[in-house]
Structure 1
Amino acid sequence: MSLSNYIDHTLLKPSATKTDIKILCDEAKEYRFHSVCVNSYYVSLAKHLLTRSNVKVCSVIGFPLGAMSSDAKVFEATKAVEDGAEEIDMVINIGMLKSKNYVAVYKDICDVKLAIGKVTLKVILEISELSKNEIIKACQICLDANADFIKTSTGFSKGGATLTAVKMIRKSIKNKAKIKASGGIKDLETALKYIDAGADRIGTSSGVSIVTEKKSPVESSGY
């Protein structure tokens, strides 16, 4: 598989303009990235800009805190799908997980998954806020709730992806779900390390520089 197919080309900063989204989509088409990842307001624009391309539109939901009601997440996710989103990245309810209210965490994810049906659901754990045991517990809840991917981070907290966490998640979920590593992945060498560690997708705003960077010997392995 081409390295480009691993990349969710991402633009989530609050100051993003329509012009910025157009540039994002043009780059995604040029480099054949798997998707663009945008805030839900821009889903319909991105979908329009990506007409007649194979690039998918991914929308973040409950972003970046995950602390809004499940009803709010469901509404946002449903609207994003109606506007053309083919993948949804929702933030887990971190406070409820840390409070050990696992039923609330499970229901939060389930409600969104039921609302979007077969649309791919990635659940963002925000690993920088969680202990090892909390990450493992969150992974199990995600599997129980039929999430398609577990995603490491929003990129808006105190830390992003780590190789240790990706390996831990892979060991915990085995092949029952996929992994998206996100947050702080800015160069080719780092991206390849995450893929080797078990990541199935890379979320980054540095996709162009990653895929245009001079190839290293490691890349000859098939990425």
Structure 2
Amino acid sequence: MAYNIKNSKELASLINYTNLNNMITESEMVEFLEKAKECNFNSVVVSPTYVTLAKETLKDTNIKVGSVIGFPLGFEDTNGKVAEAKSLLDKGVDEFEVVINLSHLKDENYKLLENEIKQIKETIGDKILKVIIETKALEDYQKANAAKAAEKGGADVVKTATGFLSPSHIFEHVNDINIIQKYAPTVKIEISGGITQYKFANQILTGGADKISSDHGYEIVKRYKDLRENTQVKPKPITL
């Protein structure tokens, strides 16, 4: 069984097109954003440096602008992360991605994790809060506890990776999905890391993910279009 994607428009709506390259130039970012407009992704995810540019470039589209807090290590203190969230909110960000403090998780200080997530959620109000838990660095029980802390703190989405550490096999991703669904059933699940081809994206969606994060979103959608929508056939007329 495969996820039943009807067309490239639906596929793009399931992808958060990501570019968190810390050395990208403004002209390269404009090129990235123009590709996003061409495909009409659910969102783009860019660094705080380029949020204003993204908002301006995408203002006549339905594409949401996402950005990151405590990225990529998550070890900033809570006040610092809250200040980052406030700054991004002022810039008009729609979706906020915060990396959890893995030291707190490893020390089983779940209240600290919950409190941090709660404060950030209170800061951004009804905007989407995603909590990145970096599953590749965690044991399964730690993934479960991280997901529970995210849900209790009021997160909308649990995201599995920053992209710096990523599960590489579909079975790892499906295992992560199963754990999050079981222990944090009210949150959405976004899978990140190593998704460069349509086939892999389809497997992850079939496995239960709500969204995919990929810096190869454009290539995935274009490849799908080539396979499914650009076939040209001229039938011969039927003669009786």
Deviation at 1:177, TM superposition (A): 1.1
Match of 1:72 in 2: 80
One-letter amino acid of the structure 1 residue matched with residue 64 of structure 2: K
Moved over 3 A (4+): 158-161, 214-217
C-alpha contact 1:8 1:201 (8 A) present in aligned 2: yes
| Structure 2 counterpart of 1:119, from 127, 142, 145 | 127
Shift of 1:124: 0.2
> Structure 1: any 5+ residue segments left out of the alignment?
218-223
What SS is found at the alignment partner of 2:96? strand
Task: Measure the CA separation in 2 of the matches of 1:81 and 1:196.
Answer: 33
Residue 164 (structure 1) aligns with? 175
Which of 26, 32, 35 is 2:34 aligned to?
Answer: 26
- In structure 1, C-alpha distance between the alignment counterparts of 2:195 and 2:116, rounded to whole Å: 28
Does 2:159 correspond to 1:148?
Answer: no
CA distance in 1 between partners of 2:217 and 2:63 (Å): 14
2:215 equivalent to 1:205: yes
How far residue 158 of structure 1 moved from its aligned partner, in angstroms, is 5.9
Specify the SS of the correspondent of 1:8: strand
CA distance in 1, matches of 2:164, 2:212: 16
Please list the CA deviations of residues 120-160 of structure 1 after superposition, one character each: whole Å capped at 9, or x if unmatched. Answer: 00000000111100111111111111100000000012646
Letter in 1 for 2:122: L
Structure 1: distance between partners of 2:108 and 2:179: 20
Cα drift, residue 173 of structure 1: 2.4
Normalised by the length of structure 1, the TM-score is: 0.92
Deviation at 1:194, TM superposition (A): 0.9
TM-score for the superposition, normalised by structure 2:
0.86
Task: Name the CA distance, whole Å, in 2 between partners of 1:38 and 1:166.
Answer: 25
8 A contact 1:9–1:24 mirrored in 2:
no
Residues 155-164 or 93-102, more deviating: 155-164
| Matched residue, 2:202 | 192
- Match of 1:37? 45
- Aligned AA (2:181): R
In structure 2, what is the Cα distance between the partners aligned to 1:189 and 1:159?
A: 16
What is the Cα deviation at residue 111 of structure 1? 1.2
Aligned partner of 2:41: which letter?
Answer: F
| Contact 2:174 2:208 (8 Å CA) reproduced | no
State the percentage of identical aligned residues.
36
Partner-residue secondary structure (3-state), 2:113: helix
Residue-pair matches, total: 216
Distance in 2 of aligned mates of 1:108 and 1:16 = 30
Instruction: Check conservation: 2:166, 2:194, Cα contact below 8 A.
Output: no
